[in-house]
Amino acid sequence: MNSDIKAIEAATRTYLDGLYEGDVTKLAHAFHPTSALTTVQEDGTITIVPREAWLAAVKGRPSPHAAGLQRDDHILTIDLVGPTLALVKVKCQMPPRYFTDLLSFLKVESKWQVVQKVFMTETRA
């Protein structure tokens, strides 16, 4: 089990590094090809973005690192639910936007990958 937690933590760090650096190769490595990102908009509508559309958006914007933004991300919890399922809660930022992500991991072919990201965004002045 300890090796699973280490593998999940490493995949989560790859995700956070990819976000900060704008590195879609790292992000693609951490996210399963069938994964999607889900959030609720201010008007209450749910938005679901498939992995490939998200990666294209990341590729098309300046990375937080390139923009000179301070890096401040944290893994808050890793819950190894069972031998093939885990839930990870992280905080990250791209000021003025601050994110809380819930990352659902599955172990597929001996590799832990994010299969679903559900997140919320707070905007601060």
Q: For 16-71, what is each residue's pLDDT tens digit? A: 999 999 999 999 999 999 999 999 999 999 999 999 999 999 999 999 999 999 99
Which helix (DSSP H) or strand (DSSP E) does residue 79 occupy?
A: strand 74-82
SS3 for 12-25, per residue?
A: HHHHHHHHHHCCHH
Predicted local confidence at residue 120, as pLDDT:
97
Predicted local confidence at residue 24, as pLDDT:
98
Q: Topology of domain 2-123, per CATH?
A: Nuclear Transport Factor 2; Chain: A, (3.10.450)
Predicted local confidence at residue 1, as pLDDT:
60
- Asked if 93 contacts 81 with a C-beta cutoff of 8 angstroms, the reply is no
- Asked if 58 contacts 24 with a C-beta cutoff of 8 angstroms, the reply is yes
Distance between CA atoms of residues 56 and 60, nearest Å:
6
Number of residues written out for the chain: 125
Domain boundaries, the chain: 2-123
Predicted local confidence at residue 125, as pLDDT:
77
